[in-house]
Chain A
Amino acid sequence: DMKVTQMPRYLIKRMGENVLLECGQDMSHETMYWYRQDPGLGLQLIYISYDVDSNSEGDIPKGYRVSRKKREHFSLILDSAKTNQTSVYFCATQQGNTEVFFGKGTRLTVV
């Protein structure tokens, strides 16, 4: 079964706190992504990972960092969260130029 799992699904944090969003996949895909979705803006790419310890900034990396120590696991970290990082975050995986598989998303609220 092809699955991308995101944890947690919902999260409320105070401004200045650290945030860890986790993503796992069971397909052994090399490429993984973190996107955020805001109303009217579509999916904005935060980071792309080509494999273990091979990560590149996307279009909006400021305020975020990532970690990929195992192929099946890709984490998004917010050091000192800001209110403008309130959003829905999607993790996704892809092998080559085929279909992209998405997790169900994490709704993060920073208050």
Chain B
Amino acid sequence: GDSVTQTEGQVTVSESKSLIINCTYSTTSIAYPNLFWYVRYPGEGLQLLLKVITAGQKGSSRGFEATYNKETTSFHLQKASVQESDSAVYYCALGRNNNNAPRFGAGTKLTVKP
């Protein structure tokens, strides 16, 4: 089946430092799935951060970037300089295929220290 792996459950970074959150995926149902990053701020539901639907392309939003790497089946999330307001839980997701539901990683809780 399809799955998404986020290796870090929690990450703590000092303000203005760089960030990388790892995401790898596995799919047996489609060669090039759509890939997404969602973010959940405290007390809120998940909301779309960025998406990439073409292998090899980069998506970006609010200073975050992620590149769709089909060779390593990865979609790591990066930011050059984090802010306290970036503290949230970040979820990597595999887009739906046919009538399946999107698949989500376990989430990575980012805490940015002032």
A interface residue numbers (CB < 8 A to B): 4, 33, 35, 37, 40-43, 45, 48, 50, 56, 58, 90, 92, 94, 97, 99-105
Q: Which residues of A contact B48 (CB under 8 A)?
A: 99-100
A42 and B106 in contact, given A97-B95, A97-B96 (Cβ under 8 angstroms): yes
A-B contact count (CB 8 A): 51
- A selection of 7 A-B contacts at a CB cut-off of 8 Å is A48-B101, A50-B99, A94-B96, A97-B95, A99-B36, A99-B48, A100-B48
Number of B interface residues in the complex (CB < 8 A): 24
Contact residue among B9, B45, B96, B101 (Cβ-Cβ distance under 8 Å from A104): B45
- Residues B51 and A99 in contact, CB atoms below 8 Å apart: yes
A37 and B105 CA atoms in complex are apart in Å by 11
**Across the interface, do A102 and B46 meet the contact criterion of CB distance under 8 Å?**
yes
Which chain A residues lie closer than 8 Å to B43 at the CB level?
104
Residue from A56, A58, A99, A103 within 8 A of B45 (CB atoms): A103
User: Given A90-B46, A97-B95, A102-B45, does the pair A33, B101 have CB atoms closer than 8 Å?
Assistant: yes
Q: Give CA–CA (A33, B36) in the complex, Å.
A: 17
Report A-chain residues with C-beta under 8 Å of the C-beta of B45.
4, 90, 92, 101-105
Do A40 and B106 form a contact, CB below 8 Å, given A97-B96, A104-B45? yes
